[in-house]
Structure 1
């Protein structure tokens, strides 16, 4: 769990999650979601310390699960596949649950958010897989 591969993947993917989150939801998503937000729950200014800490914790969980799931087969394809399934779980599965139980966004907003989540986690999966591949023990 605390291997060199996992810790390095956690650090790099945590930073990537922070930056890509800003790009996808802060820049691109804001204009996409305009008109689909029913209840604005966003803070005027984010708490960046807790935001980054959340990204690191999420990255550690993601990287740890990937390490167990991949079973030593690290490639961009494996990482993308793992990330895609996490994106489907978070974006589509949890998004539809949020749609059914809250008034944050309309269905279109949640579906657009699901697509963003799938792309986001697919990219994170590739990053994690490439770090695992670069840092894992080589077979003789």
Structure 2
């Protein structure tokens, strides 16, 4: 659980989650989501230390689960596939649950959020897969 692969993948994924999250939700889609928000629950400004901590915890959990899921076969594609399944769980599974039980966004907002989650977690999974591959034991290739 606290292997070199897992810890390095966690650190790199934490940075990727923070930066990519800011670019997607803090810059690129702000105007779109303002038009699809029913109840604005955002803090202004966000609590950045807690945001970074949440990214660290999520990256550690994702990296640990990936390490078990991949069973020693680490790659960009495998990591991306892993991340896509996480994105489907979060974006469609949890997003539709939130749509059914809360008044945060309209259905269009939740569906776009689902697509963004699938892409976002796909990229994060790919980063984790690459880090596992780059820091894993080197095989003897002749």
TM-score normalized by the length of structure 1: 0.98
Q: CA deviation at 1:69?
A: 0.2
Q: CA deviation at 1:33?
A: 1.1
Q: Secondary structure at the match of 1:41?
A: coil
CA distance in 2, matches of 1:29, 1:38: 16
Name 1:121's counterpart in structure 2: 121
Q: CA deviation at 1:34?
A: 2.4
CA distance in 2, matches of 1:7, 1:54: 16
Name 1:11's counterpart in structure 2: 11
Q: CA deviation at 1:138?
A: 2.0
1:64 maps onto 2:47 in alignment: no
Name 2:107's counterpart in structure 1: 107
CA distance in 2, matches of 1:131, 1:35: 37
For these two proteins, the number of residue pairs brought into alignment is 140
Name 1:36's counterpart in structure 2: 36
1:74 maps onto 2:74 in alignment: yes
